[in-house]
Amino acid sequence: MDGGPAADVGEERGGTAEDIIAADDDGEDDKVDKSYRFDYAAYRAVWKDTPIDVAVTAMFAEYALLYSRMSRLTTSSVPPPMTMSEGISIGQQAADFVNNFVTPILGEVISTKVHKLLCHVVAAVRLHGNLQNCNTDTNESGHKDDKPFYKRTNGDLALFTDQLVRQAHGTRAQLAKIEREDATTITANRVKLAMLAADAATTAASAASTASAATAAATDQGAKGTSSDGGEADATAEQAQRDAATAAAASATAAAALLAANK
């Protein structure tokens, strides 16, 4: 074989092993630098005349096998702790994956995750007993919280850490203060609404009592049927209606205040 597609790639993108891919560890898609050159010599030293697409497919398949051994997500049961012999075997497979797949195909990658695969798998098993016990999803998700604060730094390697801490902690302290003040204000407003509801309920009860008494008086006068008392009876009935309306309005106000206080 003459190398097929891989040979073409080597001719078109010839480069040296000095070309390095800088990979972020924050879960975002990494961009290949414009100066990147495929190191065909390093690729062919490991993969010979294997077409590049076959090698890339093999890399993904090998990663799937490595991940299944490390995560043990193959059954629904909780796996037992790893033995040191198993940890050493996985560590060797991880190192081989980096040296024989990642580096020849992708070039040298600067990444803490690749470094851990290459050098620290056995130590992780020794410390944690099982690689499932060192899941970093929680810590990784925290990166998103600090990204907005990183944009406020000048990016200087010697300074941005202190700037990031100052920005992040200062902003979070201010947000916590605002949240406490909001909680205090909300509590005070609820107390005020509850007092308003109590006052409205008292007014409603008093108005209802007055309306009931006026209605009873109007009924009594109407039953007596005296013509001289006709105007007085009508006035009493009208007052009873007004008191009833006042009681209804006060009851509605009390209900609205209680509803707002309980939100």
- Tens of pLDDT along the chain (263 residues) come to 344 444 444 444 444 434 455 554 444 455 666 777 888 899 999 999 999 999 999 999 999 999 888 877 655 566 677 888 988 999 999 999 999 999 999 888 888 888 888 888 888 888 877 776 656 666 677 778 888 888 888 888 788 888 888 888 888 899 999 999 999 998 888 888 777 777 777 777 777 677 677 667 666 666 655 545 556 656 666 666 676 677 667 667 766 666 666 66
Q: What are phi and psi of 22, to 5 degrees?
A: -95, 115
pTM for the model: 0.45
**160: three-class secondary structure by DSSP:** helix
Residue 50: the pLDDT is 93
Chain centroid to CA 182:
22
Q: Rounded to whole angstroms, how far apart are CA atoms 51 and 1?
A: 10
Whole-angstrom CA distances from 240 to 37, 207, 212, 228, 235 are 95, 9, 7, 20, 9
Domain ranges of the chain: 4-135, 173-261
**Which of 60, 62, 133, 120 is CA-nearest to residue 87?**
120
Token digits of residue 113: 């995750």
Kindly calculate the radius of gyration of the chain based on its CA atoms and give it in whole angstroms: 39
Residue 5: the pLDDT is 41
Residue 91: the pLDDT is 92
Q: What is the DSSP letter of 120?
A: S
Residue 135: the pLDDT is 60
Contacts of 116 (CB under 8 A, 6+ apart): 124
**Contact (CB, 8 A) for 19 and 35:** yes
